[in-house]
Amino acid sequence: MKKQAVIPLVTTLLLLALIPTERLFADDDSKRARLLQQQGNILPLEQIIDKAMAVKAGQILETELDEDDGEYRYELEILDKQGQVWELELDAASGELIELENED
């Protein structure tokens, strides 16, 4: 391999090493969530957010879809008006609140 061809390859590999892993897989996660929603296995994130806001209003800091033994759960972190961070865990299929925890 020529030296001129190696430099762009090495530069690309170095840049990829600097990108957080979750960014590389974010598109795969959203595709998986979209497919699960289309199959009727989980609710749309918008509905989950509405249900979470009914429990604890505030600004959403993070959302995550987890799977455990074929059951899906959304975890949301919400910053309330008092500056406290809450983690809500909701059943992804029904939107039912599973757990509410103060992160502070």
All structural domains of the chain, each given as residue ranges with its CATH number in brackets, are 3-102 (3.10.450.40)
Kindly report the number of other CB atoms within 10 A of residue 69's CB atom: 4
What per-residue confidence (pLDDT) applies to 28? 72
Q: Cα–Cα distance between 80 and 77 in angstroms, integer?
A: 10
- Give the per-residue pLDDT at 78: 96
Q: Are 66 and 99 in contact (CB under 8 A)?
A: no
Does residue 18 register a pLDDT over 60? no
Structure tokens at 5: 């061809």
**Mean predicted lDDT score pLDDT of the chain:** 82
3-state class (DSSP) for residue 27: helix
Tokens (6 digits) for 51: 């249900």
Tokens read off for 54 = 């009914």
